[in-house]
Amino acid sequence: MRRILFSLTAALLFFCFVGEVALGQAALPMPRHYVEDYANVINSSDEQSLNGVLQELEQKTGAQYIVLTVETTGGVPIEDFAIGLAEKWKLGQKGKDNGMLFVLAKNDRKYRFEVGYGLEGFITDQYCGTVGRDVLVPYLKRGDYGGGIYQANLQVVQKIADASGITLTALHKLSPQKKENQYKQGGVLFLCSCALILFGVVSYSILHKRTTTYKTQKAKGEAEEKFQDTKRKTEEEKRQQQEKERRSEEEFRRREEAHREDDRYRAEKEQNHREENERTRSEESGKRELFKDERYYGSILGLNGRIDPEQVKHRYRELAVQYHPDKVHQLGPKLKEIAEQEMKKINEAYDYFKKKYGLK
């Protein structure tokens, strides 16, 4: 059979996630074939068949599909192991990301379908999980690793071919379902021949009735099969559409949350700015009010400009002498009332400066 070489490079690649990922004692090289059976679990016939199918798949669709078996991943989770290999090998066409990698770690009893973004539209995690549970695992439980790998990956390849609208000649020849149908058809023909020999004496009407019944059942079976195929495709398209809508909704919610977070941040920033301005205005207002009070009380004492505590004390003594009660008592009633009011203001002004400068 024909085999295609992915790379002429023989350099060793080391997978670095948390530390060095080892396969046995050496790192895995770039794949030289579509099937790299390091665990030696696939028989040569199945390996050759898979290589032919996967080669034709890449030629007709561009999808690069690698089947890999190893003894162990060396303690690395199978998911990280597969992702690391897929990133290092850069499977699929550039810009389309239509590569796919199947990994089976024999001793770890783990497997993984790693699907490129370009194939996720129809090779979903749910689909791979179904193939793994329904096809691969039953073979693994019987110890038939090679048979399980062969059957499971043929199903996935058929899915890619159907979604791409192409027919794989190699797959058509090797399909287990086709072989099974051929065996069934051969058995039916053999039984019909025996029936014709054994019951050749049966009347034509009975034979014709049986033949008609068989054709009717066959037609019904084919119609039912087509109906089920159509139903499955419709359900798959519906599921894909729902998945697409779900992702769009999640993306919309993320954007809305980001917008709301930006709005909250701007609102908090504006509020802080307003509060800062308010504090600044309050402080300035307090300073202006304080200066206004100082000028007012200074004018009562007859002081202008910059006021010194000693000036306040000196001026207060002078005014206290000037408005002494003995002198005020000698004044007339009207002047006496005016003098008392002035002295009240003078005492109020002095009390203000006493508090401000700590005068005694």
State the pTM of this model. Answer: 0.45
Same domain, 164 and 258: no
Same domain, 97 and 242: no
User: Based on C-alpha coordinates, what's the Rg of the chain?
Assistant: 48
Task: Give Cα 119 to chain centroid, integer Å.
Answer: 18
Same domain, 279 and 314: no
Does residue 78 sit within a domain?
yes
147, pLDDT greater than 70? yes
Same domain, 274 and 150: no
Same domain, 223 and 353: no
Please give the residue range of the domain that contains residue 338. Answer: 301-360
Residue 82 is part of a domain; what is its CATH number?
3.10.310.50
Of residues 49, 46, 61, 66, the one with CA closest to residue 5: 66
pLDDT in tens, 290-304: 556 888 888 887 887
pLDDT in tens, 42-55: 999 999 999 999 99
Same domain, 24 and 144: yes
CB atoms within 10 A of CB 75: 10
Does residue 8 sit within a domain?
no
| Number of domains forming the structure of the chain | 3
Burial of 6 (0-12, 13-18, 19+ CB in 10 A): middle
pLDDT in tens, 200-231: 667 676 766 777 787 888 888 899 999 999 99
Within 8 A by CB and 6+ apart from 139, the residues are 145, 147, 148, 149, 151, 152
Residue at which a domain ends, from 144, 175, 206: 175
Does residue 5 sit within a domain?
no
> What share of residues in the chain are helix, strand, coil (percent, to 5)?
65, 10, 25
Rounded CA-CA distance 7/15 in Å is 18
102: left (phi over 0), alpha (psi -120 to 50) or beta: beta
pLDDT in tens, 73-104: 999 999 999 999 999 999 988 888 899 999 99
Residue 330 is part of a domain; what is its CATH number?
1.10.287
Within 8 A by CB and 6+ apart from 39, the residues are 69, 70, 71, 104, 105, 106, 145
Same domain, 219 and 119: no
